Amino acid sequence: MTDAATNTPTGPGSTKPREEWTGQVGFILAAIGSAVGLGNIWRFPGVAYENGGGAFLIPYLVALITAGIPILFLDYAIGHRFRGAAPTAFRRLGGPRGRWLETLGWFQVAIAFVIAIYYAVVIAWAMSFFVFSFDLRWGDDPAGFLLGDYLHVGDPGFSLEFVPGVLIPLAIVWVATIVVLAAGVAKGLQRANVIALPVLLIAFLVLVIRALFLDGAAEGLNALFTPNWAALGDPNVWIAAYSQIFFSLSIAFGIMITYASYRRRRANLTSPGLVVAFANSSFEILAGIGVFATLGFFAFEQGIAVGDLEGLTGVSLSFITFPAIVAQMPAGPIFGALFFGSLTLAGFTSLISVLQVVSAGIQEKLGLTPRTAAIGLGALCALLSIVLFSTTTGLLALDVTDQWANNIGIVASAVLMSILVIWVFRRGPELRQHLNAVSTFKVGRIWVLLVGLVAPVVLGYMLISRIITLIVEGYGGMPGWYLGIFGWGTVALIVIIAIVAWLIPWRESPDEFAAWPAVPEASAETRSEVTR
């Protein structure tokens, strides 16, 4: 019989010990590696600049404390207490009368599946541009090079005209991802992050320090950090802050539930969570400094103000504006290699965490080994990724799919999770006591209030306003039929996957399970399971 306090009565199939991180440092590095991704580098600086500059840090910190960290703790508590990937954890949380809650877990798994398919393509682009940096292959026209010479972007539609320059690095990304996932939690995920994260940090620090000594860097930093206090009166600025925090912490779509489930029973949760949250925000601010110091140099070279520059966020910032800057700056090839190398590492550590959500869910449902799941799942993802996103229509499909999967799928997942866990199944007090029983940093009743009230209200407003905007205004000037297939069709696909996966029989039932530790406020339903 396993010791419920020290060992890990594993998920489904309790005869097998559950995989674990080797220690707290490994878990923290993996969690930071998941949170620090492409959005930290190419999204935060532009969002901060467009929403009040230095003043944006106030709603940003408020959003971090009132929604980001509370939901992060909620993910940790669910994964750690119920010892499984998202479907297993939610099924156990639902108890005998709430087994259907497993569908919420599969909803999160389906979101991760969709995101992984297109996220890998951006990493492939970054890998290509890392190579292009050494001879500045984009020349004097980075936009024309990206859209024409490299991606061969066509009209909205579905094409099977593959672009070799994208297909080859994309295949490499998937091979590397499968190798990491097949090696398991400690030898794969943890080891990859232990190696990649320090390299990423050092490379990015070198890049930022170099940027600070460029002509015009001070003007760039002034543009970013000069506060516009009037912006604090604009509700959209606060929504932008909550949105940035929410998307950058890798919360509410299964990653942190899965990662926390690999921690030992007696493992501190909240203090490492604070480390992860503030490390992620620190990297975002570091990225803001590096990006805007560089943009200041670019504006200085052109004799214009930073505010007159275009392409300050997303794909445009990384693959058009930055190459243009690199072409003009001293030692440009080295600077370009550092930037795109950092982008590749940040993206890869996030990709493996996203795909682990899917892999772990399948392993537990079908009784597969990590290697079998990684190979089967990785091959399917690689095929879909190549067919959909390495063609001449790949950029447009990626853009639309990302909009709907993130702004509708993940936000809906967070709202549903908060309402169902806190209000319908009333597990807030139990999860709070679980966090406090194993952690050094205790959370008070206000945590339940933040998770159960503030988060769903703010995120619910974001979700509804975004749905209305997409319905009324469309997106990117693209035709309605295209948005119907790649936008709303993505949401429909996620829902269908969630329902179908729930209906598939378990190889071994996950319901014979004892939650640990026992807590006074656990529902009678939970206690009956514990004593089973």
- Burial letters 218-230, b for 16+ CB under 10 A, else e: ebbbebbbeeeee
CB atoms within 10 A of CB 527: 14
List of E strands, 195-249 = none
Domain ranges of the chain: 24-503
Q: What pLDDT shows up at residue 4?
A: 43
DSSP letter at 419?
I
pLDDT reported for residue 33: 96
CATH, domain 24-503, list 1.10.10, 3.30.200, 1.20.1440, 1.20.1740 = 1.20.1740
Residue 348's contacts (CB-CB under 8 Å, 6 or more residues apart) are: 123, 173, 176, 177, 192, 196
Q: Look up residue 302 and give its amino acid.
A: Q
Q: Which residues pair with 322 in a beta bridge?
A: none
Instruction: Identify which of 470, 501, 510, 506 has the alpha carbon closest to the alpha carbon of residue 113.
Output: 501
Q: Secondary structure of 103-120 in the HEC alphabet? A: HHHHHHHHHHHHHHHHHH
How far is the first Cα of the chain from the last one, in angstroms, to the nearest whole number? 14
Read off the tokens for 246.
């929410």
Instruction: State the pLDDT at residue 15.
Output: 53
Separation of alpha carbons 357 and 10, rounded Å: 16
**pLDDT tens track, the chain, 532 positions:** 344 444 444 444 455 688 999 999 999 999 999 999 998 998 899 899 989 999 999 999 999 999 999 999 999 999 999 999 999 999 999 999 999 999 999 999 999 999 999 999 999 999 999 999 999 999 989 999 999 999 999 888 888 899 999 999 999 999 999 999 999 999 999 999 999 999 999 999 999 999 999 999 999 999 999 999 999 999 889 988 998 898 889 899 999 999 999 999 999 999 999 999 999 999 999 999 999 999 999 999 999 999 899 878 888 899 999 999 999 888 899 999 999 999 999 999 999 999 999 999 999 999 999 999 999 999 999 999 999 999 999 999 999 999 999 989 999 999 999 999 999 999 999 999 999 999 999 999 999 999 999 999 999 999 999 999 999 999 989 999 999 999 999 999 999 999 999 999 999 999 998 898 988 755 544 444 433 3
19: left (phi over 0), alpha (psi -120 to 50) or beta: beta
Q: Which helix (H) or strand (E) segment is 1 a member of?
A: none
Residue pLDDT, tens place only, 402-440: 999 998 999 999 999 999 999 999 999 999 999 999 999
pLDDT value of residue 13: 47
Q: pLDDT tens-digit profile of 291-306?
A: 999 999 999 999 999 9
pTM of the predicted model, to two decimals? Answer: 0.93
